[in-house]
Structure 1
Amino acid sequence: MTNPFAPAKLGPLTLRNRLIKCATFEGMTPDALVTDELINFHREHAAGGVAISTVAYCAVSPEGRTDRHQIWMRPEAVDGLRKLTGAIHAEGALAAAQLGHAGPVANSVSNRAKALGPGAIPAPMGMSLTQKLTVEDIADLRKKFATAAKIAVDSGFDALEVHCGHNYLISSFLSPLLNHRRDDYGGPIANRARLAREVLESVREAVGPDVAVWAKLNMYDGVGKPGPGRAAKPWRGFNVDDACETARMFEADGFIDAIEPTAGSSLLNPMYLFHGKAPRKEFAAAFSGIMRAGLKAGGPVFLKHYPYHDAYLMPLARELRKSVSLPVILLGGVTNRATMDRALDEGFDFVAMGRALLREPDLPLRIEADPETKSQCVHCNLCMPTIYSQTRCPIRTGEVPDPLAP
């Protein structure tokens, strides 16, 4: 059996173990630049024992942010980013930057820029419709990803995660529910995957072979029902069959070193990624005005309940694992040694941890020391609404009672 705490290769990198701190938006960049809070956040996770700490939502352009408080990759950000990667390296871990463009998930009002999409589709955060990307816009987008990737590497990042999930811009192109284009970027999956493949090519060309690059790829958006004429692929949204085909194209292209399967839609069904309790009241309280009223009224529809169980994304990820030879990073419900061992035994190469580390950043070290260690995360998901006011576990900070306390 593979030891999750033994060194492992990811592309050109040697990792100290097979544990990756996945991207969880930190909400700690009010001026769209690195802060001491962000540095300390990742320093703590790096010191806690993960091999890689992933900095979330490094937008490739101003309009590609979910809102104006998010980092976007530009020369002014480099000094802070170097301090951040230096802090992670000082704790013995490697640093990854999640590069993405929010697309229809962007708040156009906050960004003071149009949200972008494959066509005119709803962009709820800005109460608007997206602006359709032209072919010329797509060529420009590729350059933006390449520039952002180069800035990240110049800032000391060892690895890059390209966000192709959650109905962000690239994912919205992949989805047949959201992408109704009739050109080379719409229609069959080979066309809907074209933008993702071109972006990955541009990123790899920008950074060369000495940087690890992986794609965060949706397996299922969590939306849609079987319908007439779609017997072979019954889901109206992106599904695991499309994901497996896309992953095979990624592998054949040869631009990435791994795939991190994910699921759900920040636009339509976020809880499909998280599972566990749906913090509807707390999520609504994080907003004001129309958004708060809308979330109060539509919370049960938008924030659905999916029961939590360990490795809850494994059934879908298993299908993708069978489809490619590339390393695959298992995400979703990895909180203990037994799940790590199970994942590696089934052929997954790395595991990614998120919410459990917000509760206990040193959980990896404690699991390594004692394989019977149990995570204190109760899957309440009260961390979700905190992304608007510095991401944290409210149980850890004492804001809410600890249900496990004696």
Structure 2
Amino acid sequence: MTDVFAPARLGPLTLRNRVIKAATFEGRTPDAVVTDELIAFHREVAAGGVGMTTVAYCATSPGGRTDRHQIWMRPEAVAGLRKLTDAVHAEGAAASAQIGHAGPVANAASNRAPALAPSRLFSPLGMRFLQVPDAAGLRQIVADHATAARLAGESGFDAVEIHFGHNYLVSSFLSPLLNRRTDEYGGSLVKRARLAREIACAVREAVGDRVAVTAKLNMDDGVRGGLTVPDAVRVAALLESDGALDALELTAGSSLLNPMLYFHGDAPRREFAKVMPTPVRWGFRLGGRIFLREYPYREAYLLERARQFRRELSMPLILLGGITNLDTMRLARTEGFEFVAMGRALLREPNLLRRIQSDPEFRSACVHCNACMPTIFSGTRCVLRLDRKHDEIADPSAVRVVAE
């Protein structure tokens, strides 16, 4: 049960171990296509020993991006994505594409395309009201997810992860706070879950049994009136009953209203303010403490919520949040979770898994300062990471920022 480094089945795949590099937007696609830097990022993580690395974020349409510098799935993107998956496979790891539509988290001004929400909402990102899709629009969204999954398969991806979390589009439909519709996609929990179920089934139909299909599902929005654990468990049970998914990765928090719930640790308010445009920076300085709340870091900080899903479901589950060391990975296995997902610890040390395999007592150097979060605008990285050649801080000024 506790051997996280043994090969494991995920749908049609056999991964070399049970550790997955979680989706963390890499900030390395300025023209919305794969770059050599993005390939190098995932090759390094793959060489570091993970069973599978997740490419984030592969939007299902131009308007589904959080900004225009993200990949959106189209035939022109396939060649670059194929180079990426070939590089990952050469290092012995599998590759997953995180697909989805950002919905109310999308930046309409940057994308030059309408951002979507289940109900009429005002977006401070685009400084305009969000567009509410009708039934025909929702059918197109489902079809776009299927197309994105098919293109991921053509690009050599072994798995796709559908984004049902963080109040992105599907997550916003699950939220009773954000979804005030009165049609077949709003009201009761079953109706609010309809879009998620249709997308999961359409993706499965598009890829068949050639590609593993997982979904990243919110357990808790962390917002008053939002999705809560009991209702999220019911959504997960509905998804399980449909049989379209090979696993669920459990997450929490809202990119709109409470992003720190899925990070925990220090809230990098000052660092974020420094990289934001001037008008947004002023607002952030005033409201940053409300938006970026602080949750003390502890290992496996989402485990208590996730246990409730493990009790109710039989499908494979992926535990995320505070997975940095072998003892925590073994705890997850003992608790019945088939896989674990790691993010920030691998930004600090892409070869962490290799080091743990060599020395089971090795501890991650990640200090959970979260100063990596604002680097998504310039290439996601750990600002405290040591240079491998010279054993020096890669960005010495960052140490002062974190210490202030």
Structures share a fold, TM > 0.5? yes
TM-fit CA distance, 1:122: 2.7
Of all paired residues, the percent bearing the same amino acid is: 63
Aligned-partner residue type, residue 290 of structure 1: P
SS of 2:97's equivalent?
A: strand
1:372 aligns with 2:361: yes
For residues 275 and 4 of structure 1, what CA distance do their matches in structure 2 show? 24
Kept in 1, the 8 Å contact 2:2–2:331? The answer is: no
Deviations 1:204-237 (A, max 9, x none): 110001211011000001111xxxxxxxxxxx11
Kept in 2, the 8 Å contact 1:247–1:323? The answer is: no
Q: How many residues are matched?
A: 393
Determine the structure 2 residue equivalent to 1:249.
238
For residues 140 and 296 of structure 1, what CA distance do their matches in structure 2 show? 39
For residues 6 and 239 of structure 1, what CA distance do their matches in structure 2 show? 34
Kept in 2, the 8 Å contact 1:248–1:324? The answer is: yes
1:277 aligns with 2:274: no
Q: Which runs of 5+ in 1 are unaligned?
A: 225-235
For residues 402 and 248 of structure 1, what CA distance do their matches in structure 2 show? 47
TM-fit CA distance, 1:322: 1.0
Name which of 301, 313, 330 aligns with 1:324: 313
Kept in 2, the 8 Å contact 1:106–1:123? The answer is: no
For residues 204 and 124 of structure 2, what CA distance do their matches in structure 1 show? 32
Kept in 2, the 8 Å contact 1:105–1:124? The answer is: no
Aligned-partner residue type, residue 113 of structure 1: A
Determine the structure 2 residue equivalent to 1:199.
199
Determine the structure 1 residue equivalent to 2:168.
168
- Please, what TM-score do these two structures have when normalized by structure 1? 0.95
For residues 401 and 16 of structure 2, what CA distance do their matches in structure 1 show? 34
Name which of 256, 259, 270 aligns with 2:248: 259
SS of 2:399's equivalent?
A: coil
Determine the structure 2 residue equivalent to 1:36.
36
TM-fit CA distance, 1:403: 11
Determine the structure 2 residue equivalent to 1:344.
333
SS of 1:96's equivalent?
A: strand
For residues 44 and 402 of structure 1, what CA distance do their matches in structure 2 show? 27
Aligned-partner residue type, residue 53 of structure 2: S
Aligned-partner residue type, residue 366 of structure 2: C
Name which of 301, 306, 316 aligns with 2:295: 306
Deviations 1:339-366 (A, max 9, x none): 0000000100000000000000000111
For residues 380 and 128 of structure 2, what CA distance do their matches in structure 1 show? 27
For residues 307 and 68 of structure 2, what CA distance do their matches in structure 1 show? 37
For residues 83 and 120 of structure 2, what CA distance do their matches in structure 1 show? 40
Kept in 1, the 8 Å contact 2:229–2:305? The answer is: yes
TM-fit CA distance, 1:402: 9.2
Determine the structure 2 residue equivalent to 1:114.
114
For residues 18 and 288 of structure 2, what CA distance do their matches in structure 1 show? 37
Aligned-partner residue type, residue 160 of structure 2: L
1:58 aligns with 2:54: no
For residues 392 and 346 of structure 1, what CA distance do their matches in structure 2 show? 31
Kept in 2, the 8 Å contact 1:167–1:221? The answer is: yes
Aligned-partner residue type, residue 386 of structure 1: T
For residues 55 and 252 of structure 2, what CA distance do their matches in structure 1 show? 19
For residues 123 and 324 of structure 1, what CA distance do their matches in structure 2 show? 36
For residues 322 and 160 of structure 1, what CA distance do their matches in structure 2 show? 25
Determine the structure 2 residue equivalent to 1:398.
395
Q: Which runs of 5+ in 2 are unaligned?
A: 386-393
Kept in 1, the 8 Å contact 2:271–2:401? The answer is: no
Deviations 1:51-109 (A, max 9, x none): 00000110000000000000000011011000000000000000000001000000100
TM-fit CA distance, 1:323: 1.3
Aligned-partner residue type, residue 157 of structure 1: F
Determine the structure 1 residue equivalent to 2:276.
287
1:83 aligns with 2:83: yes
Determine the structure 1 residue equivalent to 2:158.
158
For residues 128 and 245 of structure 1, what CA distance do their matches in structure 2 show? 34
The root-mean-square deviation of aligned C-alpha atoms, in Å, is: 1.2
- Please, what TM-score do these two structures have when normalized by structure 2? 0.96
SS of 1:265's equivalent?
A: coil
Change (3 A) 1:402 1:377: farther
TM-fit CA distance, 1:243: 0.9
TM-fit CA distance, 1:398: 2.8
Kept in 2, the 8 Å contact 1:285–1:292? The answer is: yes
SS of 2:210's equivalent?
A: coil
For residues 271 and 208 of structure 1, what CA distance do their matches in structure 2 show? 36
TM-fit CA distance, 1:5: 0.3
Deviations 1:4-35 (A, max 9, x none): 00000011100000000000000100000000
State how 1:183-194 maps to structure 2 within 5 Å.
183-194=183-194
SS of 1:329's equivalent?
A: strand
Aligned-partner residue type, residue 127 of structure 2: M
Divergent runs of 4+, >6 A: none
